[in-house]
Amino acid sequence: MHKISRQALKDINLLYNRFLSQFCPDQARKILKEIEECIDLISCFPETGKDCCHLMKGLRQYSYRGCVFYYRLHKKHVYIIRMLDGESEHNLSGKSEQ
């Protein structure tokens, strides 16, 4: 695993904000704040996605400009996004312990 660049995180947050606002607008701001607070816990998995295949059950799907996001909101504020843009695959995981 390696750290996501600041620019990548900014792009991800922008897209994430847009797709969250379509499903739970009243929680989008709170969730994004939590993600920003746990920026150092967000990691980028290898392109194969094998490291987080076991986390992919029961995910919801959202498409935006050719990208497909698979996401799940956990009780303990764990967010998983899988983004498929046709050329590469990105698996992102963030945890916010409270």
The one-letter code for the residue type at 90 is: H
Contact 28, 20 (CB under 8 A): yes
Average pLDDT of the residues of the chain: 48
What is the pLDDT confidence band of residue 87, given thresholds at 50, 70 and 90? Answer: very low
| Tokens coding 7 | 């620019």
Q: Which helix (H) or strand (E) holds 37?
A: helix 25-37
pLDDT single digits (tens) 23-49: 555 665 665 555 444 433 333 333 333
Q: Which residue has the higher pLDDT, 67 or 47?
A: 67
| Angle between helix 6-23 and 25-37 (nearest 10) | 160
The one-letter code for the residue type at 72 is: R
Contact 72, 80 (CB under 8 A): yes
